[in-house]
Amino acid sequence: MKRIALVSVTLNAVNPIVDYMTKTNPDVHVVNYLDSYLLEKVGKDNGVITDESMGRMFDMLVKACADGAQCIIMTCTIFSPYVEKFSELLSVPIICPDGAMLDGVAKEGGKTAIICTFTGTVDTTRSVFFKYQRLNGRAESVDMYVVPEAFKAAQVSDMETHDRVIREKIAELDASYDHVVLAQISMARAAQGVAMKHAKLWTSPKSAVEAAVNLLK
């Protein structure tokens, strides 16, 4: 049986991946590694990835490799810029869900809006998207939106409010863009049942799982 590790900083990012994986690839064994304090720490550090935060993330990745993972999905958006470096240092491929998704958006082109709930992910997500736009021959262009109310709701496990706030922002942006992107994997459940009238709505679980399964082949 194939073995994929999920390395996360919030349980809200784990469930969307596991749900999608269970439905589409039941032959894959998923093992979770979670450091729920790490997201809080990065917030206290004003979104800066310190040596201590980097060490905590790297420790989880090393454990996943030592435990026999054949591929790692690192679900935390704020660590996405370091995926290539981590992959060079470790023995198995590492995928960031937002990277696989943003590459797909960049390939299609068009006017894009990206929604975040955590302010610390804004600069990181914009930078990663610009990288894929350059790689795909596109001009660097994106509008970033933050819905901190959704993040606050998720912190107290009020996922109903979390999802509602995100859906309201999606509806607000729909008519003005070709693509509306939910930056963080923890936002994916808010997209369930949303009917878009103009824009294409993007979430990262599907992109991440497909990329991981393709690597395992």
| pLDDT value for 8 | 92
Identify whether the C-beta of residue 168 lies closer than 8 Å to the C-beta of residue 150: no
| pLDDT value for 46 | 85
SS (H, E, C) 14-41: HHHHHHHHHHHCCCEEEEEEECHHHHHH
User: Strands 179-182 and 112-116, how do they pair?
Assistant: parallel
Which three-class secondary structure state does DSSP give residue 115? strand
> Which residue bears the tokens 């992910």?
121
> Which residue bears the tokens 């509008």?
143
> Which residue bears the tokens 């963080």?
184
Q: What's the pTM value of the predicted model, to 2 decimals?
A: 0.77
Tell me how long the chain is. Answer: 217
| pLDDT value for 161 | 96
* Domains of the chain, CATH where assigned: 2-96+206-216 (3.40.50.1860), 98-203 (3.40.50.1860)
Measured distance CA(144)–CA(21) in Å, rounded: 29
Identify whether the C-beta of residue 78 lies closer than 8 Å to the C-beta of residue 124: yes
pLDDT in tens, the chain (217 residues): 789 999 998 887 888 888 888 888 888 999 999 998 998 898 889 888 999 999 999 999 999 999 999 999 998 878 888 988 999 999 999 988 888 899 999 999 999 999 999 888 898 899 999 999 999 999 999 999 999 999 999 889 899 999 999 999 999 999 999 999 999 888 988 998 899 999 999 998 888 888 888 888 7
